[in-house]
Structure 1
């Protein structure tokens, strides 16, 4: 194919794909199937790969995102991006109308009313019809340059309509948002992975647009609507209504539910109709925006310090407590426990926007008979965790099928098993959700105590393929860490030093760090004292475990199951191969029984300066003693630190020996 023919075909394909993007993402009226669209896109991609010198910046293939940025650069807006005064009451909108009439000395004022999208405000700049820059609102005067991220949004044209008569330079204000179905789909994926879901579509849109890595933004289903010309070359447009029409002619997505109103009564009617229809809309709106239509009138009215005088947001009454279950997702936790979560149409409860609520377990779902599509009442249990209080029956409703827990893990497709009221994934370390949780738990303070390995860092390490198992932590390099968001030379060095320090670890901490079901700090200490070495623990079977005081059938079965799994034994082998040294417990049961503290009971109260509570407890347990939470006649010692509580008074009342921290340290030294 000749070069001219190739260029012609590239032009045809780009124009055709842009037209279908506009029809699909803006007009919601697709003309071709997804397969036909994909075929056009593949042809364009193939031609551009064969002829990279012919790739243009506005090509539809250039929306996939680029290399991560180190920071978002500040940019000054063409003109201030002001906020709007908000009102709720009918009396307030009538007063606004009276003020407009008075200041314009007019008997009537015409308005344009449009939905108030609940998203993130942005400035969009076009030069010679091409999108050249985009920024967040920021403080109204200065925002952050998010051009690369905005280019990934399919509903935003990279090139204005070719024969639209668009000005040489155009500055537009718009709102980036997320459709409700896309928001719920994103939250479902995040919930299933055990990640923190977004509270509402606005937070999801804002968090997605402000990513340093534009490929993450490209993977998020963002949309944009444009509602104001902030600046343009050439003559201004006479009315706001014509302004919105013109934006649409230039190929920009303008609000489709807008209405031109000849009086404030028509505005109020539009507000009532829109509020009644809001639950049926595919996106979240929290009110309408009312603007004086004539641009000349807008100029006469002018601005206040932070808002225009000629526009106001007429808000809806917030949804409270009663909402709809739009989906039921299953979250996979660190230990593989599957928890059903209701994904809700966002609702305000106690001043907080709620978009999901726990359903606890399958038995709870069945008891409350909650199904997708149900209307429910939501409460904040203990003012913290959102939960569904009850289903609210709706006359004439057609309910969906009852919810059932999945047979396979939604993350790794491993089989799901049941343990009492709970279901769990059997995939363990091959499950993506459990890998992140397992690494985070392994590095936690109670386990290997690797400072700097928190949720965000672990997520990046796993998502970028740098860590696929616990052992991979110990072969990380500085260049790998420098590739992560938020890591510089100093922070990378500190993390590598923390990892190196953690390579020598007490047996009980290591057992705790493995994340074995039902094995916490106390049981880990019991195992360490009983068996003395990791090999001793690994060689035991369920019957042997059950011989240990404080370990019953369920914990025994869990331990036996864990250590009989070849993959888990391979992980432990890899950890040792990569330099991990596990300190054996020298004070075995016989030695411990020979100390003067064997069988004694300690109680701690108040704060210790030279010991953490955990270290103090381990010190007495290693010497054959035990720690209790309350004082009784059987208590041998009460160790009182700073600001002791009522336990000290109880000890004095019962005649129990009270030690200060210095005396406690000397007692331990004498029993070493």
Structure 2
């Protein structure tokens, strides 16, 4: 009689198989099984864990904890994490090389029997994320920490476990190793996240840092972070001859290594690679702010040693300065359409990379405290401008509390209502009588991706609010010509144009109408999914949370937001008034069966540049009708890039990756038809 399999042995085999597939998918970008097959393996593991009441330490089901953490525990690194000296230009780089060469020559003169080899170098990307230090004991991931002050960081093991490219177990089991890398959010992931986020994230660096320092690991998991590894900081016995051996060790132990690691034999080759890297910077799917140059040979590193702050054998070459020092003049508080109250800093005007900066981002009081800005009004601060986003404040120049205090408001700066904290953010709960919330809601309702009311702007919304008591999007459809024409700077023509635009907007597609309503926690992607599934406003208004969570990409939080939104009496009044005014959302017909032989079926397509024969929105719609998936960024998973006139970095990246490019509009039209 056959022996019944041991459940723990079955679980162990499942874990090894799932982790193998995860490694190929998240680290190598080479999927080995379909999503459905992976789900079947994972579901079987979950079932066995429930039946046995046991979760093995390296189980993938433990990547997302469900318990809110109380705080971050200090963690002392086994080996110090060093900062890097900076080279701002080629002269600085050559000066670093000259110093290193001099020290090597002096050593070789004194030790002719065992000279150091000629200098050779490795060039790596300088990631713009959050430094991670991972500890593995006998192959098991036992701790993960932030850099902190280089000696002591914060333990963030639960958060780091949510990063799928971080191995929970490695083949090396002979002792303890500390592995250093960078946690980051890919730009394509940020873009997709913001499509459905109620509060879009401003940039990838803050998104990653905020997620990894969030006490709720589920929030970290939702950001879908990535990590690249580049250094072994500590081992209790392992030794490497050079950096190449270290990189191979990382790869052999299933760590995700930077896609750009270049070994060269001369400082002239380093300079040449620097120019190549500057040229390719904007084609990457993550932020970098320079490159790191290291001497390869480990014995040479030991001889050169360290200063009080930096290793003498490495230097960080920063890109053209996008950081500056200026004075923090004041902090104002702005109310958004969701009621979120955010601080905005005004600084003394300063030029960064050709742009004059006067306003900077501050996220919340938690961010202000973390950056040592609590007493910073009137003080010198560091600011950075990255990838054309609004500049952010990095911190104070000095550690002293030498400025005036930044105090969070207790009441709404607009309506005077008492504010409340939701997590780390301040909110004004006065949804029905707070001017910036209502103006923002009306402006969003009229925007291009929503009701697309031509000629409408935020200034128009403010004027209608102030002079005609427009308090709700539905009020727009009850405006009268005689009232509009009396408004300052309006006149007969402008009044006629606005009324005509309102009339034209009365038959929006259902997805745009839902987006215009501003349902919390939903964006364009989610509202389109809702419209495609229900194809009726009435059916959606009656949907339950249990129904909604069966749809792809809609979880419990979003489902509850949708149900609560349509149950809200104020929202019900708004919708009824819109419908009574003649607004009639049109649901698209269910798509006909797609001809799977067409060249776009099942392909991932990116549009870039200007198309003269049709708009990009129309082209994307036609592609989706043919069974294509249209995304916003180029990656290894992209099948086709359609490049119109003035296509930029996406086209360049597609060329570098060898992706099929369609840059002839006549060919495009032929393929679409």
TM-score by length of 1: 0.51
Question: Which residue number in structure 1 is paired with residue 302 of structure 2?
Answer: 299
Question: Which residue number in structure 2 is paired with residue 141 of structure 1?
Answer: 151
Aligned length: 408
Q: Which runs of 5 or more structure 1 residues have no equivalent in the other structure?
A: 321-331, 337-346, 357-377, 385-441, 462-466, 472-508, 528-537, 575-672
Aligned alpha-carbon RMSD (Å): 4.8
1:212 is displaced (CA, Å) by 1.0
Indicate whether 1:119 and 2:126 are aligned. Answer: no
Indicate whether 1:186 and 2:193 are aligned. Answer: yes
Per-residue CA deviations over 1:230-271 (Å, capped at 9, x if unaligned) read: 111224222122111112112222224212222222322332
Contact 1:512–1:524 under 8 Å retained in 2:
no
Question: Which residue number in structure 2 is paired with residue 96 of structure 1?
Answer: 96
Larger radius of gyration: 1
Indicate whether 1:289 and 2:292 are aligned. Answer: yes
| In 1: Cα distance, 2:138 partner to 2:213 partner | 27
| In 2: Cα distance, 1:470 partner to 1:98 partner | 64
1:221 is displaced (CA, Å) by 1.7
Question: Which residue number in structure 2 is paired with residue 79 of structure 1?
Answer: 79
1:109 is displaced (CA, Å) by 0.7
Change (3 A) 1:11 1:354: farther
Question: Which residue number in structure 2 is paired with residue 249 of structure 1?
Answer: 252
| In 2: Cα distance, 1:189 partner to 1:3 partner | 47
| In 2: Cα distance, 1:149 partner to 1:124 partner | 12
Q: Equivalent of 2:279, from 259, 276, 286?
A: 276
1:215 is displaced (CA, Å) by 0.5
1:310 is displaced (CA, Å) by 0.6
Question: Which residue number in structure 1 is paired with residue 170 of structure 2?
Answer: 160
The 3-state SS of whatever aligns with 2:420 is coil
The 3-state SS of whatever aligns with 1:267 is helix
| In 1: Cα distance, 2:412 partner to 2:250 partner | 53
Contact 1:443–1:513 under 8 Å retained in 2:
no
Per-residue CA deviations over 1:33-63 (Å, capped at 9, x if unaligned) read: 223222222222222222222x112101111
After the TM superposition, which of the residue ranges 28-37 and 212-221 deviates more from structure 2? 28-37
The 3-state SS of whatever aligns with 2:144 is strand
The 3-state SS of whatever aligns with 1:103 is helix
| In 1: Cα distance, 2:46 partner to 2:180 partner | 31
Query: What are the residue-to-residue correspondences of 1:310-349 with 2, within 5 Å?
Result: 310-317=313-320, 334=337
Change (3 A) 1:47 1:316: same
Indicate whether 1:350 and 2:337 are aligned. Answer: no
Indicate whether 1:198 and 2:202 are aligned. Answer: yes
TM-score by length of 2: 0.51
Question: Which residue number in structure 1 is paired with residue 667 of structure 2?
Answer: none
Question: Which residue number in structure 2 is paired with residue 11 of structure 1?
Answer: 12
Contact 2:126–2:288 under 8 Å retained in 1:
yes
Q: Equivalent of 1:177, from 181, 184, 188?
A: 184
| In 2: Cα distance, 1:520 partner to 1:131 partner | 55
Contact 1:124–1:133 under 8 Å retained in 2:
yes
| In 1: Cα distance, 2:238 partner to 2:315 partner | 26
Contact 1:289–1:314 under 8 Å retained in 2:
yes
Question: Which residue number in structure 2 is paired with residue 585 of structure 1?
Answer: none
| In 2: Cα distance, 1:276 partner to 1:112 partner | 19
| In 2: Cα distance, 1:513 partner to 1:318 partner | 37
| In 2: Cα distance, 1:523 partner to 1:8 partner | 68
| In 1: Cα distance, 2:416 partner to 2:360 partner | 35
The 3-state SS of whatever aligns with 1:160 is coil
Contact 1:153–1:224 under 8 Å retained in 2:
yes
Question: Which residue number in structure 2 is paired with residue 489 of structure 1?
Answer: none
Question: Which residue number in structure 1 is paired with residue 417 of structure 2?
Answer: 449
Contact 1:349–1:379 under 8 Å retained in 2:
no
Contact 2:93–2:317 under 8 Å retained in 1:
yes
